């Protein structure tokens, strides 16, 4: 799977805002080229909400164990929640993982945010395509439900033209 294929998949989910920071948009340099996915039916970056998934293309300080400094490597990170986390890892979020965080095409506990129920896939490929699609759909649904609870929505908002792409940082 390529980064563009993953962005395209998430773009087909309703109410998604994909933010890809670039030079000159006011974003921190470390984030340039990465992509952040938000549930945002109004197309604006939510002020007090984390993304439900991200694609990172490089090591971040304190997060080097996935070895994203390898040519062409990237990692998809997904806010999977406790149930999905347990399903894919066999243990509770926050319990130590024995996985190699640099293993490719494998669903793993996120090397930094596992305690919050995040999963990760480094260089997704044929073994993880179906799983990653499922995880991204679930994370999207969870983000939508969280938004609806916070804003008192009880029904489904109207379908606003699926994805909104923000090429500028908030």
Both tokens assigned to 149? 């609870």
The pLDDT tens digits for 122-156 are: 999 999 999 999 999 999 999 999 988 887 765 54
- Say what the pTM is: 0.88
d(CA 69, CA 10): 25
Q: Which residues of the chain have pLDDT under 50?
A: 156-164, 167-170
Q: Map 42-81 to HEC letters.
A: CCCCCCCCCCCEEEECCCECCECCCCCCCCCCCEEEEECH
């Amino acid at each position: 799977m390529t980064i563009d294929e993953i962005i395209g998949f998430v773009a087909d989910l309703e109410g998604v805002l994909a933010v890809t920071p670039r030079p000159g948009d006011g974003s921190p340099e470390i984030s340039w080229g990465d992509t952040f996915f938000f549930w945002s039916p109004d197309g604006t970056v939510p002020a007090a909400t984390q993304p439900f998934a991200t694609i990172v293309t490089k090591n971040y300080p304190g997060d080097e164990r996935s070895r994203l400094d390898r040519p062409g490597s990237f990692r998809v990170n997904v806010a999977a929640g406790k149930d999905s986390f347990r399903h894919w890892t066999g243990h509770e979020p926050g319990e130590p993982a024995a996985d190699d965080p640099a293993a490719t095409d494998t669903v793993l506990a996120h090397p930094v945010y596992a305690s919050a129920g995040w999963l990760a896939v480094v260089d997704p490929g044929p073994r993880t395509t179906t799983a990653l699609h499922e995880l991204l759909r679930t994370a999207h649904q969870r983000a939508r439900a969280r938004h609806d609870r916070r804003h008192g929505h009880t029904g489904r908002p109207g379908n606003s033209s699926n994805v909104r792409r923000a090429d500028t940082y908030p």
